């Protein structure tokens, strides 16, 4: 008897495209980074830990905190405009 492995990924209709957006924090040591919680329990606590880790590695970062407050809705346009005006990058998080 031989063992056969099944690849669950299936066949892609399109070739994968790499994600090219990013922010090089070594090149931009004083960047403004937004941390947005989505309203699920522990999303704020998770981002507290993310902030500690980021600032430990890049002490000159400027951190902005946001919380959309309701996990069942998209972030309001006014909040997204505020983030776009204040931040070079954003980390959005959810909790459970």
Among 14, 10, 13, 21, smallest CA distance to 91 is for 21
Query: Residue 1 burial by CB count (10 A; 0-12/13-18/19+): exposed, middle or buried?
Result: exposed
The 10s digit of each residue's pLDDT in 3-60 is: 888 888 888 888 888 888 889 999 998 999 999 999 888 899 999 999 999 999 999 9
> Where in the chain are the domains?
32-93
Q: What is the pTM of this model?
A: 0.77
The 10s digit of each residue's pLDDT in 1-13 is: 788 888 888 888 8
């Amino acid at each position: 008897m031989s063992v056969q492995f099944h690849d669950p990924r299936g066949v892609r209709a399109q070739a994968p495209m790499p994600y090219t957006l990013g922010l090089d924090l070594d090149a931009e040591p004083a960047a403004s980074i937004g941390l947005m919680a989505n309203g699920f329990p522990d999303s704020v606590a998770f981002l507290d830990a993310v902030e500690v880790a980021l600032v430990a590695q890049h002490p000159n970062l400027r951190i902005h905190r946001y919380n959309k407050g309701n996990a069942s809705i998209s972030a309001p346009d006014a909040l997204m405009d505020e983030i776009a005006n204040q931040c070079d990058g954003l980390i959005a998080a959810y909790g459970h």
